[in-house]
Homo-oligomer: A and B are copies of this chain.
Amino acid sequence: MKAGRITLKDISLECGYTVNTVSRALRNDPHLPESTRVLIQDTAKSMGYIRNSMASSLRSGRSHIVAVIVNDLHNQHFCDLLNQMDRELRKVDYNLMILCMQLDDSLAEELIHTAISLGVDGILYFPNFGQRHYIEYMTGNNMPFVLLDRRVNDVDADTVRCDDLQGGYLAGRHLAELGHRRFLFLSGIEKSSSQMDRFNGFLQAIRENGIPGENVRAIPGEQVEEALAQDNIAPLLFPMDYTAIVSFRDEVSYAVMTALYEKGISIPGDISIISFDNLRAENPSRPALTSIYTDRSIAEIGVKLLLERMEDPSLPPRSVVLPVQIFDYGTTAVPKGAS
């Protein structure tokens, strides 16, 4: 019996072929005759051989690992996407490595650094705002990558994201058509392009319905996030000078719903609520919520673009904008007393 890990050399000794031939057999090199290949593969299996990926990657230059860099794992929206990516990548024999920046934006560069150091073949990146610098870091190191969920201004790179402008528009039109005239808009983090687009789309829709922009009370994203973190979102909801709430992501909506329940305010009887993201599509354990989102294809398409980019770095940059839909799960209705 051998001490450490079994290597190609051990197999080579065992079955009489050279290391090279063993290597090729285990990689299913078609130039080897069936019989040799089977013999070697069987021997390897019976000896409990496990390929040393580090050596393999070092030599071949490919690691078969894709890294995804995310903000954190507390957002179910992200987790769903990660799951889907993992599935997509596994299909084509890649591993997904999740690198999490723990809400600390400055970790992004370090994580990209780590990914490059580890020799991943590509990076899926959920950029926050103002991260051109990091993106140039990937470009400078010839690292294939795809931007997800958000576009980054003035950066010409592969991107997949939802049509946030349309999303905001749909939300606004839906509520306006129901008869709502005054709104509370709970923003996401300021300056993210998703945020801006959704807000602008929303404004456009209500204006088209003859509602002035002043009828929207918008709470800055920082305030919302802070309130959420402190489990104290109720103060943001008063005075109740509106009949409908639009919130930037489902997590916030759930917190709001809970706060309203506690005050005895009914949804959608007293207040309508609509939000973004696609929690519900993947996670049936949450209460239904009227929401605007696209399906999981953002993960699927992101992976697809990345694989293509890895294959051919000279491809022109592509940008995929996924259409969104409104899914009415019953948290919106005509405003009170207006039926």
Contact = CB atoms under 8 A, between A and B. Distances in A.
Q: Which of A51, A118, A142, A258 has its CB near the most chain B CB atoms (within 10 A)?
A: A118
Interface string A296-339: 00000000000000000000000000000000000000000000
Contacts of A98: 97-98
Instruction: Report how many copies the assembly holds.
Output: 2
B140 A52 contact: no
A74 B81 CA distance: 10
Instruction: Classify chain A's interface size.
Output: 35 or more
A51 B117 contact: yes
A83 B72 contact: yes
Task: Please list the 3 inter-chain residue pairs (A to B) with the smallest Cβ-Cβ separation, ordered nearest first.
Answer: A231-B284, A258-B287, A73-B79
30 contacts: A48-B141, A50-B117, A52-B58, A53-B117, A54-B54, A54-B55, A55-B58, A73-B80, A73-B83, A74-B76, A79-B79, A83-B100, A86-B102, A87-B102, A90-B102, A95-B99, A95-B114, A96-B100, A97-B98, A98-B98, A228-B284, A229-B284, A230-B284, A231-B284, A254-B285, A254-B286, A254-B287, A255-B284, A255-B285, A258-B286
Given A4-B142, A5-B141, A254-B286, 11 more contacts: A50-B116, A51-B117, A52-B117, A54-B57, A73-B79, A73-B80, A82-B100, A83-B102, A97-B98, A228-B284, A228-B285
